[in-house]
Structure 1
Amino acid sequence: MTTTRQPSLIDTIFRLQELADYIVPFGIRAVSELHLADHLTNGPRTITDLATATNTHAPSLYRVLRALACKGIFTETQPHTFALTPLADLLRTDHPLSLADAYPLMAANFHGWAEFRHTLRTGESAFEHVHGMGYYEYLATHPDDSTRYDGIQAAGTRLELRAMLRALDWPRFGSVVDVGGGDGAFLAGLLARHTSITGTLLDLPHVVANAPAVLDRAGVTDRCTILPGSFFDPLPADADAYILKRVLYDWSDDRAAPLLTGLRTAMRPDSSLILMDPVIEEGDAFDVGKIYDLLSLAMLAGKARTEREVGELLAVHGFEVVQVVPTAMFPIIEARPARG
């Protein structure tokens, strides 16, 4: 007869310590900003070589890589010599699904998280409480952090393109508007894959500043219009589809109301609203939507929603859900103006 070993109290303590740890995440972020994994693409290298290549202090770098290696991020193949592991490989900038820029050291964010208790007491954004301005307002006036934020978005978009372009019948849309579409990476990927579609990219002026280069690299400049502006202003009318990708969860129900009203006004009766947002699943199982929900709460006083909550919010503003398509990331929710 076999018996299943129950976790001991010590096991439980170590597990809680691991979950509460911020040391390893900061180590990952530090070596990511150094693009250290790029220097191991061709095989193991000594810590002396790596320190020279990254302009770092060799003994300190060794201690960081040694700690990360015990978590499976890099491996010490022989004393003071390191190589990539599958986890570390994702930190290469040339990896097709690179996460090299997904984990920046953004001090402004960390200062916000340090006051998360303010959010718990008030429901207000900890970030805004600390910095005296909203998150996107801050990025508009801090170009270095705005560039770091673009890197986070780009890493997510690479994953979303792989998961979502194959999940929906995109060619049925002749024209799409990517509302809050950042530098156009997702729209560029969509237009490159489906040459029958034309697109409009709408986001704040400082956000779309890099869009021409992104669209040019994808070879879709001639099929895409860049529209600098706020999505709370009147939106381009009569497109076949309007995309909201990781946008709605940034906003509370009240603050999302003008956006949804503007979309409803711009859309034809047969236009589609394509939502690609973290969606919360019920129960205790791990769900990335619940993690995104806390991020949105702390930084923006926004909220991720359950599928039911999304449907209810859309209904208030004159939409009806017509299909929900699961993907490897989060579901695609397609809605249209409600009839009658």
Structure 2
Amino acid sequence: MNTRSHAATLLDMADLLRPNAIRAAAALQLADHLAHGPLTAQTLAERTGANPVMLTKLLRYLDELGLLRRDDEDAFTLTELGEPLRRDSRQSLGQFLSAEGLFGRADLGLVGLLHTVRTGESSYAAAFGREYWDDINGDPAFAEALDKEGPTRIAFDADLIVDAYDWSGVRRVVDVGGNNGTLLMELLVRHPHLTGAVLDLPGVSKIAARRVAEAGLSDRGEAVAGSFFDPLPTGADVYLLSGVLADWSDERAVEILGRCGEAAGQEGKVLLAEINLDMESSGQSAAATDLWVSATVPTPSRTVGRLKELGAAAGLTLTWEGPGTHIRSLLEFGAGGARA
């Protein structure tokens, strides 16, 4: 391959127009509008609320990419390649790729990658002025994305929380930063004596409340709107933090642990079930994931030893260390001595 070919390859690899055009098409749901037949740019502009001139330019480019096909009447038809952008497609990528979606928003933050490489700080904050979860959880515009893209099954070895911890003596658990309630619901189903609550910001807690009700668990579960940087509801036996601290700096992580400790008091416990992503040991194929995660959230991987240090910095005492996996650790903290 000659130097000119290498240059062409690099230009293609570094292209930003193509991915952003596809994500714009996904956000506008062009594939869904074209699902039943060809439409003109003017009609699509009316249905999507887009600028007609700029939408026409986008449609022509999508035609060049092969996602759409333009006919002699200047109407556009969805191609087989573009089918996965339909929201009702069996293997739909429409919501996932949307520039306004949960994951699409994170990907757009990668424009600040240079900032991450230079400073170690998240590129998302550099691009948008706020950390990822501050932005997503704090903006009602993303509530729909959170609802559609949030997990419906526990993941990242979260079974460890449900099975390896002794829940027999626990009456009530608060899943702090529990997102849409998936983990709490699993705990309530698997341990019928438990009652509990998800605590998260208002937009997320509304989703969790609805999902808990739809699961028929409203008699034992609820969702509470709040921030884990503010005082938390007291009276629970266990304050659970599952995969939360990885999204925050050491300083903020200590704040979160401290709030949980305050709410737990002398009798309660703080159960830290943190995700520990060790990408380096996963081989070269994990390099892209490692870079993406590190650029999106401030501290995606901490050692168990470091988590213990953060607990101590928050004024907590390690009372139990559970079994761990290569993905997740399980640590219990309290204000008293070690558990017998």
What TM-score range do you get, normalising by the shorter chain?
A: 0.5 to 0.7
**Corresponding residue for 1:221?**
218
TM-score, normalised via structure 2 length: 0.65
Residues in 2 aligned to 1:105 and 1:198: alpha-carbon distance in whole angstroms: 38
Displacement, 1:133? 5.8
Superimposed CA distance per residue, residues 116-168 of structure 1 (whole angstroms, 9 cap, x where no aligned partner): 54555555566656766666665677432x336625xx52524x536656565
Instruction: Please say which of residues 108-117 and 248-257 is displaced more in the overlay.
Output: 108-117
Deviations 1:85-129 (A, max 9, x none): 8x927x63586x965433442599788655554555555566656
Query: Which whole-Å CA distance do the structure 2 matches of 1:164 and 1:277 have between them?
Result: 9
Q: How many residues align?
A: 308
Question: What is the CA–CA distance in structure 2 between the aligned matches of 1:268 and 1:100, rounded to whole Å?
Answer: 49
Mapped contact 1:323–1:333 kept (Cα < 8 A)? yes
CA contact (8 A) 1:215 1:221 kept: yes
CA distance in 1: counterparts of 2:64 and 2:186, whole angstroms: 38
Matched, 1:105 2:99: yes
Cα offset for 1:223?
1.8
Distance 1:98 1:165 in 2: 26
CA deviation profile, 1:244-285 (whole Å, cap 9, x unmatched): 23x212211122112123334527789562525361322562
The SS at the match of 2:149 is: helix
**What pairs with 1:306-317 in structure 2 (closer than 5 Å)?**
306-308=302-304, 310-311=306-307, 313-314=309-310, 316-317=312-313
The match for 1:88 among 69, 84, 87 is 84
Residue deviations 1:213-246, cap 9 Å, x none? 232223222221322222133444543461323x
Q: Distance in 1 between matches of 2:308 and 2:111?
A: 33
Match of 1:324 in 2: 324
Distance 1:184 1:22 in 2: 36
Provide the residue aligned with 1:280 in structure 2: 278
Cα RMSD, aligned residues only: 4.7
How far is 1:294 from its partner? Answer: 0.8
The runs of 5 or more residues in structure 1 that have no matched partner are: 1-6, 297-301
The offset of 1:80, in angstroms, is: 5.0
Q: Does 2:39 correspond to 1:48?
A: yes
Aligned 1:46-195 pairs, distance under 5 A:
46-48=37-39, 55=47, 60-61=58-59, 63-64=61-62, 67=65, 81-83=78-80, 88=84, 92=87, 100-106=94-100, 114=111, 117-118=114-115, 120-121=117-118, 142-144=139-141, 146-147=142-143, 150=146, 154-158=148-152, 161=154, 164=157, 169-170=162-163, 173=167, 175-188=172-185, 191=188, 195=192
Larger Rg: 1 or 2?
2
Letter matched to residue 296 of structure 2 = L
Please state how far the C-alpha of 1:202 moved relative to its aligned partner: 0.8
| Structure 2 match to 1:291 | 292
Match of 2:51 in 1: none
- In structure 2, stretches of 5+ residues that fail to align are 49-54, 71-75
